Structure 1
Amino acid sequence: MTQSIAWLQDEIADRMLQKLDIVKLDVKDVLVLPDFLGLHTLFLAKRFPGVRFHSAPESEISGFARWQFRVRRWWNSRCRAGAFISMSDFEKTGRIDLPDHSVDLVFSTLLIQDLPDPKYFLRECWRVLKEGGLLSFSYLGPDTGKELQVAGLAKQLAIEPLASPWDMHDMGDALLGERFSDPVMDMEFLHLEYVADELLITDAIALKLVSSLGHRTPKVADLPKKLTLEVIYGHAWALGKHLAKPQDHIAYIDPKQIQRKTTIDSD
């Protein structure tokens, strides 16, 4: 997602934070994936005093801006150093470069729709979350950019389907399948209106609904004046992590989790 749509990241992150207001959670370590230059970390720091940020900066942040980014995250963490994760490495491997059971909260804004396999992402979140930790996320649903799906436009623009066009029911099922507990899903439609075709195309490229056209802005007949965004929100808990994943309807547990009760003869 490019800088031209940074305002949308901030807006969606703000709405996610409002939904966290009613959640009771003691957070010491939070992973922000992806992390971007916005106000969300200030709000998270106020919501969870003393939190330490583990950050995956957007790939577009580089050079001096990246150094400034690190300083801000360190300062927001009250001078407690958290891990910095390479977003480009994550995009290549799908692995979150953090130890097992290392964070209390994973906060992910507008990422899942760009992942080829969201289930693997959910497994990684499950792995890095501590027992009782929370995954909070937002992503774009399948009705996003539906105005561009007209046959005539598809011939004039390089329309790109979402990598993972999951609706909220798909995500709810996947969360349960990956052992998350008590998933809560929500959805809303946002409508972006445009006065110029160039602005709509720029945002469509930033949202990865249209392939990059380089420096060329095509003249497209009957281009719509608005874009619909289906924004899906959700959160789910990592509970019962000591239990193994059931196989063939049989649940297995680690023998180390079995405690032996002993009795002492009083005679």
Structure 2
Amino acid sequence: MIEELVPEGLWERVKPLLPPRPPRRDRYPGRLPTDDRAVLAGIVFVLKTGITWRELPREVAGCSGVTCWRRLRDWTEAGVFQAVHELLLDQLRALDRLDLDTAVVDGSHVRALKRGAATGPSPVDRARTGTKHHVITEGGGIPLAVTLTGGNRHDSTQLIPLVEALPTIRGKRGRPWQRPRWLYGDRGYDYDHHRKTLRERGIVPRIARKNTDHGSGLGTVRWVVERAFAWLHQFKRLRTRYERRADIHLGLLQLGCVLICYRQLTTSF
């Protein structure tokens, strides 16, 4: 089960990036900590199935769901999943699997069953409490960066934060990649100050205009971000937000990006 949830290739990339454990005391050292790979398998199991942490079967990871939750909290705080995501992007670029000239941005609403940080009344869900996933992808739909906001935040508020969150992608000799040539977005991002800011950063905005008929042709490029959301929301724990803490849900969202990138990497051979 552990090998299926966390393949050897993925574990080899995650293991060096995990924070070191504090040294054990010589006297009264306590129980040995659960193996990190087994804990990661438990986290992935919860992410894929959508069960609660307390429902995690002990035979999956050999530990309780609470242990997995705590390790997820610590790893998210240490930036482990963000670092693994960037490493996989480097490797995908080395294989020419990324279209980095083009970037596409969009947001997607999910219901939040518990109140907490980064939640709010959603205007598209009868003011029920919700959260928004904001994603920027490369031209093929592979996620490059994600942010999390309340369901009442407008998509446009995250355009520049997403651009600023773009990682520096290496993987090839020469100058690393830092920004796309073009950025595509729907009418929700059509504001002159955003266009000006993008141009100042050397990015050509290709954003649909408000109050215009459909058929601009931009949809032939922008559809990949919808597929990225479909990939992310195949993980049942991301379809609905159950976590009260925003950092825990963001950690799961980042882990979803890691699994998508790793799947793309393994299909490259």
User: What is the TM-score of this pair, normalised by structure 2?
Assistant: 0.29
Give the strand-richer structure, 1 or 2: 1
Select the structure with the greater relative contact order (CA < 8 A; seq sep ≥ 6).
Answer: 2
* Structure showing greater Rg: 1
User: What is the TM-score of this pair, normalised by structure 1?
Assistant: 0.29
Give the helix-richer structure, 1 or 2: 2
